[in-house]
Amino acid sequence: MCKLNISKEKNIAKSTILMILCSIVVAVFSFQRVDASFQNLLIGDQLPQLQGKDVISLEKISTDKFIQDEKIILICFWAEWSGRSIEELQFLQDLSDDLQDSTVQYLSIYTGRLNSFNLNTYLKSNNISIPVLRDERNKIADAFGLIAVPSTIITDKIVVIRFLFSSFSLTAQDHLIDSLDSLLGRSSEIVIVSDDRYKPVKKALRFYNAAFKLFGQRSYEQALDNLKQAQVNDSLYLQPYLLESVIRYELAQYEKAVELTYIVSDIDSTLLFPQLLISRNLIRKKEYNEAAELLNKVIKRDSTNLETRFLLVDCYLDMHQSENAQIHLDYILLHYSNHPKALFQQALLYTLVGNKKSAVQTFMTSGDIIFP
C-alpha cells in the first residue's frame, strides 16, 4: 500500500517538473532579464483587463476600479504545488499587514489544480486576506503568457507595468520592496544586494534571445541550434544550458536534461536549482544515499527551501527512514500547516509505520485525495 501511494505521489511530482525547469530559466538571472516571466508582457505595457470575484469575500475585482482609485497594483501568480509560490503569498500577506498603505492593491491569482486542493480552506486557515482570484482553466495565465510560478507584476497608478519578477528568494523580497518604494516615491530602507551576475558576450546573448523566442513558439529544433551557437560563443553563460535542459526534458530526453544541469552546477556551484534536479535524478535512479547527501548540503545553505524538504521526505520514505522523513515534515507543517503535499506525505509516512488510522485521517484532512 505504501509503495503504491509513494508511486502516486511521484507521478504527481513528475507532472510539475517541466514547470519547475521553466522557472529555473527565468529565475537564475531574473533581474538580468526581468521580462522573461511572461511571454506576452513587457515592462511599459498596459496591464490587460482583469475582472472576477475574490474567492473569500466574493467582492468584485476589476482593474477599472483600481484605476479609478489610483492604486498601484501588485499581482502574484501562484499554485499550491510550488513551495516558492506559497512562500511569496505569505510574504505578500505579511507585507500588506506591515505597510498598510491604501494606495497599494495586492492581488493573487491562483493557477493550481483545484481537484487536489481546498483553496478556501487553505486561505482561511493561513489567514490570507489579500484578494485571491481563481484562474478558471488558466485563462488569465494563457492570456498573459505566464511561463512559471511564482511570477509577480507591479504596475503604476495607470496600470502600466513597471516591474516584472520571476521566482522568489530573499534577494527577490528586497527587489520587490525596493520597487514598491520607488513607485510610492520614498527611499527604500532595504539594502539591495549588488548585482554582480555574469555578463554574457553580446553575440551569445543574441543567440539566446532568439532561442528563447523560438522556445515560446515550440520550434524546439531551431531553438536548440541557436542555443548551441550561444554556448560556442560563451561557454560560461548559464542560461543557454538551462533553456536547453527545459527543451530536452520536453522532448523526453531526460538523461541529457540532467547532464546539462551538471554542467551548470560545475560552472556555478552556488546555484540551488541544478542541485535539486540532480537530486531528483538520483532518486529516480534509486541512488538514495547520494541524493540525501546532496539535499542535506542544500538544506545547510538554505534551510527555508521547501522543494528541498519535500525531496528529502521522498528520499527518506523510499529508504524507509521514517524518523528522518518526520524531521523534515515537522518543519514543513510547522510553517505551512495545511500544505496538501505535506499532508499527503505525512499520510504516506503513517502508512509506512503501520498507523493506518492516522493515515486515513490525514488523507481526509488533505482534501479530496482518496485513500485506496
Which pLDDT band, with edges at 50, 70 and 90, does 191 fall under?
Answer: very low
Q: In the predicted model, what is the mean pLDDT of the chain?
A: 77
Q: What are phi and psi of 264, to 5 degrees?
A: -60, -45
- Confidence (pLDDT) at 301: 74
| Rounded Cα gap, residues 223 and 326, in angstroms | 43
d(CA 73, CA 50): 11
pLDDT score at 242: 80
pLDDT at 26 over 50: no
Could you tell me which residue, 207 or 173, shows the higher pLDDT?
A: 207
- What mean pLDDT do residues 152-158 have? 89
pLDDT at 189 over 50: no
Q: Angle 279-28-337 (CA atoms, 0-180°, nearest 5)? A: 60
User: How many other CB atoms are there within 10 angstroms of residue 57's CB atom?
Assistant: 11
For 71-194, strand residue ranges (E) read: 72-78, 104-110, 132-134, 151-155, 161-166
pLDDT at 19: 45
**145 pLDDT more than 50:** yes
Give the bridge partners for 108, in sequence order. Answer: 76, 132
Q: Is the pLDDT of residue 252 over 70?
A: yes
Assign domain 30-184 to a CATH class: alpha beta
Looking from the CA of 237 toward its CB, the CA atoms found within 13 Å total 24
Q: Which of 87-91, 220-224, 280-284 has the lowest mean pLDDT?
A: 280-284
**pLDDT, greater one: 246 or 60:** 60
Q: Do the Cβ atoms of 123 and 132 come closer than 8 Å?
A: yes
136 or 33, which is more confident: 136
More confident residue, 23 or 84: 84
pLDDT top residue among 10 and 43: 43
CATH 1.25.40.10 assigned to 2-21+204-365: yes
CA-to-CA distance for 107 and 100, rounded, in angstroms? Answer: 14
Angle ∠(271,321,275) on CA atoms, nearest 5: 10
Which has more pLDDT, 270 or 277? 277
| Amino acid, single-letter form, for residue 93 | Q
Give the model's confidence band at 190: pLDDT under 50 very low, under 70 low, under 90 confident, else very high: very low
- Fill in the amino acid letter for 60: K
- pLDDT score of 199: 63
Q: What is the mean pLDDT of residues 81-100?
A: 85
Task: Report the pLDDT averaged over residues 295-321.
Answer: 85
Q: From the CA atom positions of the chain, what is the Rg in Å? A: 21
Provide φ and ψ at 353, rounded to 5°.
-90, 5
For the chain, give the percent of residues with pLDDT over 70.
Answer: 79
- The SS3 of residue 52 is strand
Q: How many CA atoms lie within 13 A of 194 on its CB side?
A: 1
The label of the residue with cell 500577506 reads 93
Nearest alpha-carbon partner for 151 in 139, 172, 138, 165: 165
pLDDT of 86 > 90? The answer is no
Residue 332 confidence class, pLDDT cut points 50, 70, 90: confident
Q: Categorize the per-residue pLDDT at 27 as very low, low, confident or very high, splitting at 50, 70 and 90.
A: very low
Give the domain ranges of the chain. Answer: 2-21+204-365, 30-184
Contacts 24+ apart (CB under 8 A), 322-328: 322/349, 322/352, 322/353, 324/292, 325/349, 325/352
Q: Average of pLDDT values for 233-256?
A: 83
C-alpha cell read off for 103: 494606495
Q: Is the pLDDT of residue 326 over 80?
A: yes
Provide the CA 350 distance to its chain's centre, in angstroms. 28
Nearest to 312 by CA among 336, 331, 334: 331
DSSP assigned state of 370: P
Select the highest-mean-pLDDT range: 130-134, 136-140, 237-241.
Answer: 130-134
Query: What is the pTM (predicted TM-score) of this model?
Result: 0.47
Give, rounded to a whole angstrom, the gap between the first and last alpha carbons of the chain.
8
Grid cell, residue 1, equals: 500500500
Give pLDDT tens digits for 49-62. Answer: 888 889 888 898 88
72-78 and 104-110 strand pairing: parallel
Whether residue 109 is predicted with pLDDT greater than 90 in this model: the reply is yes
